[in-house]
Structure 1
Amino acid sequence: MHQLTYGDIKTATDRIAGRIRPVTLAPVDPGAIRTAHGDPLDDREPEPCDVWLALEFMRHTGSFKA
């Protein structure tokens, strides 16, 4: 099985450039979502993180949705 590389992704990006429609993104309010606790023995507090939502419902009908 072929291991996916950055070069593979770059090649695919170049191949489909100009043929796809960008998806609309919306940021979630800062601080609305925090990181989850990991290991129960980890004493770090949850931290705010940046989260963006892909508004798929605004996509053109029949467009590729990834």
Structure 2
Amino acid sequence: MAQLKVTQIKSTIGNKRPARESVRSLGLKRIHHSVVVEDSAIVRGYIRSATHLLTVEPYEATEGK
């Protein structure tokens, strides 16, 4: 399954509750923190509600280890 690398680029302070909760649900804890998540409808919904706080890019795992 495809994966996405999600990075928080702005603070959640001063934003509405759904955006704050979406960022936290993705596993992000601070600015410039990145996580790799599975690409699913639920994750896309979290990203959509907080697009102004996040950057998203495709992620390809290297299986060389």
Please state which band the TM-score falls in when normalised by the shorter chain. Answer: under 0.3
**Higher RCO (CA 8 Å, separation ≥ 6 residues):** 2
Please state which structure has a larger fraction of its residues in strand.
2
**Bigger radius of gyration:** 1
Please state which structure has a larger fraction of its residues in helix.
2
| TM-score in terms of structure 1 length | 0.25
